[in-house]
Structure 1
Amino acid sequence: MSPSRKHRTLALAAAWLATRALMLWLLAHDRLAPLGRGGVSREVGHLYFHWYGVLSQGAFPVGDRLWQYPPGAGPVLLAPGLLPGLTYFTAFVACTLAADAVIAAALTRAGLRPGRSPRGAWLWVLGLPLLLHIPLARYDVQVTAFAVVSLLALSRGPRVCGAFAAMGALVKVWPALALIGTPRGRGTREVWTSAVITAAALLAVLAALFSGPFDFLRQQSGRGVQIESLGGTVLGLARHAGWPGTARYQYGAMEFVGPYTGAVAACSLALTVAAFGLVLLWRVRARRWTEATPYDAALTAVLLFTVTSRVISPQYMVWLLGLCAVCLTSRHTTQRPVAVLVLVATAVSSVAYPGLYGEVVRSTWTGCLLMLVRNGLLAAAAGVSFVRLWRSGLPPAAPRRVPAGRERGPHRVPTGLRTRH
């Protein structure tokens, strides 16, 4: 390793250690009012630990309205129990930090290759702390690790790419979208074949080891409109216009209940289907691929999926930061402006939760403004991302033909200026 690369790696490692120490400090002081009064860490200490006890008995939480995750989430929640001498909470945070370190190392390695950029690693290292301590108390970092490794492995091992995407999709569905931009041809067939085989094999193993692996489908279908979603922003503003709905904790999140919430949820689902159709249309029409196209397409797809979702929890920003970081490892990416918008949206998201979450729940003007800004930034990022991806896939413009007799150059004299001798 050259001295310059060694210095960059050491600088990234030092930044990672410093920022993660800060995040751990915030987590240790989680009960302070600006940090959520213990609400952030409670999910691990109570809910995840409860699920760990059920999973340890060889069963998924059947009938639990809060369990809405694919069966691959089971092993992730069981993993902290493999670390001896630690409480479940401490072990869970240790596993999350390990996944975080894997992401940082993978991005650093990719960014230091010839023709690549270390900006992706820097975005991840410095961008994740914008979410304060939230990433350490959710398992979205682990899911993002699967997607990041999958995308970075594409150029060297399509089968590895497909396998990691499948594992991530079995934990939370969205990593499957990482494969939407794989180049046409043999590589795509290898990626998708590997993904299907891996998913089928893991599902068979989980179905053999645990009972009720598919009960999450019934619980997921009952979700409503979370107050932090785009539809929730509309309903929050509608409360100031006399809409009689209220916010209630259900299905693991604060959701709006009242007239027209079903219609808003249905509209969100329709928009998600339309967004998926746009991504498929891009894939059909695209004619140009660069090394960055699979990365850019993954970010676009997940952004559209996130913005149109009935739920936009703060931890969803972890996914977007990870995909933005992958994009920035390539000098050919079209998504640099999108990464800036996502970073700003991430910072605003932390102000909304946990900082001023009470304002958001009560739909005060402050809470509504925060969500309008955060979701507006995400919507703008999704729009810019798709437009730039679409344009990058268009065939190059044909060179303009100059009519005969009008060529320009030092060897040709304009007709009107010729003289006779």
Structure 2
Amino acid sequence: MNRLRVTPGPVLALTSLWLAGRALMLWLLVHDSSPLLGGGSVAREVRRLYFHWYGVLAHGSFPAQDTLWQYPPGAGPVLLAPGLLPGLTYFQAFVTLTLAADALIAAALLRAGTRPGRSLRGAALWAGGLPLLLHVPLARYDIEVTALAVLCLLTVARSPRGGGVLGALGGLVKVWPALALLGTPPGRVTRTAWSWAATAGTAALGLLALSFNDPFSFVREQGGRGVQIESLGGTALNLARHAGWPGRHRYQYGAIELIGPHVDAVAAASLALTATAFGLLVLWRVRARRWTEATPFDAALSAVLLFTVTSRVISPQYMIWLLGLAAVCLTSRHTSQRPVAVLILGASALSTVAFPMCYQDVVDGTWTGCLLMLARNALLAAAAVLSFVRLWRAARPPAVKNLPRTEPRPVSDRLPDRALTAS
């Protein structure tokens, strides 16, 4: 059997890049109290909020009546997991598990990239791109969620059952990983993956409902959310301040949101755009005729991008999702999303400048804050449009070139010379 010979040089270089990047992120997390790094606001979410929820969950109940709890039931076991590591504080255990999930993603991308016909660009993007978000990824549970989506995409072609289960578990933790199953090839793979996802999701949801009280309390709080200051709608309203819009900001539902005239209309427009995005994705699925190994990867990235840019909320940690999905796309040489990955890297860098470095400017609606968010969101919007256009074109069957028509030769031209002589 012929096996691909993998030179250790690139693998060692990427491993070193990952280690150096995570060492930097840990150093930044230790110095989180610096004003330039947010004055402690990044780590505070784990130290206080997650730890508080851990105490509630440990007593067998989801945080009902808590407006900050807006996560599906699968988030409960993730937030309880740090308690399983002895000898560490909750914060230390949380960061340890987050780094472990990060390493798992890097290892999966490396393994996928060393297969025949694949590329290590995905592993490089993840190893070098995540530190663009500074220490934010280590103080959120979005890396664990991204790990489920990445493993789902890298597994589903070889094991539709396993991919379906991973997609369902990811969806129970934070909904969006279920979109990883959007682009599975039609036929047996899709039937198997989707049926196993439905079965596993239903079983896990039932188990969580039996184990904890109020498993669906998050729906009420999620529905009450307004327009976050970092969303596309929030950026438009923030710019409107400079034109005399009388609204203001308020901390509610775990984010800085804008309140005032026309906010409800902006929120409704965001929901309408999300519905439109869903319709476009369904139309693509129905009309797609050409599948490659990269199609499931590209479809997942495009779907999450569309849902992100049309959302009423675009938190900084959402960039973790996009970096992970873009990395999966780049493991395939057939992907259509290479320029999209470049835009995501740029948007990630700008997200860091906006939060935590210049977040007060964003909240106050200064020109600096407004222009930062305008640039970041413009990159995300461009990435979403470009991603879907390239996904749509890649799914069309290759055009058949029309050969030039030739006039038939006269019969006499087709007769052998002897026949002509005999006549």
Q: TM-score, normalised by structure 2?
A: 0.95
Hey, what does 1:402 align to over in structure 2?
404
Q: Which residue of 1 aligns with 2:321?
A: 319
- Alignment of 1:86 onto 2:109: no
State the match for 2:135 in structure 1: 133
C-alpha contact 1:230 1:375 (8 A) present in aligned 2: yes
- Residue pair 2:6, 2:114 contacting (<8 A) in 1 also: no
Pairwise mapping of residues 169-248 of structure 1 onto structure 2 (< 5 A)?
169-248=171-250
Deviation at 1:398, TM superposition (A): 1.8
> How far is 1:391 from its partner?
0.4
2:331 aligned partner: 329
In structure 2, the residue matched to 1:166 is: 168
1:154 aligned to 2:156? yes
* 1:14 aligned partner: 16
Identity among equivalent pairs (%)? 69
C-alpha distance 361-193 of structure 1, shift in aligned 2 (>3 A)? same
CA shift for structure 1 position 252: 0.4
Q: After superposition, where does 1:30-69 map in structure 2 within 5 Å?
A: 30-69=32-71
Other-structure match for 2:351? 349
Secondary structure of 2:249's aligned partner? strand
1:113 corresponds in structure 2 to: 115
Between the aligned partners of 1:20 and 1:49, the Cα distance in structure 2 is: 23
Specify every segment of 5 or more residues in structure 2 that has no aligned partner in the other structure, as ranges.
410-423
> CA contact under 8 A between 1:140 and 1:319: conserved in structure 2?
yes
Superposition CA RMSD, Å: 1.2
CA separation in 2, counterparts of 1:231 and 1:252?
Answer: 18
> How many residues are treated as equivalent by the alignment?
407
Question: Residue by residue, what CA displacement relative to the aligned partner does 1:336-362 show, whole Å, maximum 9, x if unpaired?
Answer: 000000000000000000010000001
SS at match of 2:7: helix
Specify the alignment match of 1:416 in structure 2: none
Contact conserved, 1:5 with 1:112, CA < 8 A, in 2?
Answer: no
User: Hey, what's the Cα distance between the residues in 1 that align with 2:325 and 2:129?
Assistant: 12
Q: Deviations over 1:172-201 (max 9, x none)?
A: 010011111011001100000110111111
Aligned pair partner of 2:25 in 23, 26, 47: 23
Larger Rg: 2
Instruction: Name the counterpart of 2:302.
Output: 300
CA contact (8 A) 1:117 1:328 kept: yes
1:263 aligned partner, one-letter code? A
Letter in 2 for 1:357: Y
Q: Classify the secondary structure of the residue corresponding to 2:45.
A: helix
Partner of 2:417: none
Q: Deviations over 1:210-250 (max 9, x none)?
A: 00000000010000000000000100011011111111110
Which of 266, 269, 280 is the matching residue for 2:268? 266
* Aligned match of 1:383: 385
**Structure 2: how far apart are the matches of 1:135 and 1:2?**
34
Letter of the structure 2 residue corresponding to residue 348 of structure 1: L
Aligned positions of 1:251-262 closer than 5 A:
251-262=253-264
Task: Give the deviation of 1:396 after TM superposition.
Answer: 1.3
Partners of 2:408 and 2:127 lie apart in 1 by 56
Query: Displaced runs of 4+ in structure 1, greater than 4 A?
Result: 1-4
| Cα distance, 1:13 vs structure 2 | 1.6
Contact 2:231 2:311 in 1 (8 A): yes
Separation in 1 of the partners of 2:105 and 2:408?
57
CA distance in 1: counterparts of 2:89 and 2:408, whole angstroms = 81
Report how far residue 9 of structure 1 moved: 2.1
Cα drift, residue 100 of structure 1: 0.2
The alignment status of 1:374 with 2:364, answered yes or no, reads: no
Uncovered stretches (5+) of structure 1, i.e. residues with no partner: 408-421
Letter in 2 for 1:56: A
2: CA distance, partners of 1:400 / 1:301 = 35
Shift of 1:406: 10
Query: Structure 1 length normalisation: TM-score?
Result: 0.95
Amino acid at match of 2:135: H
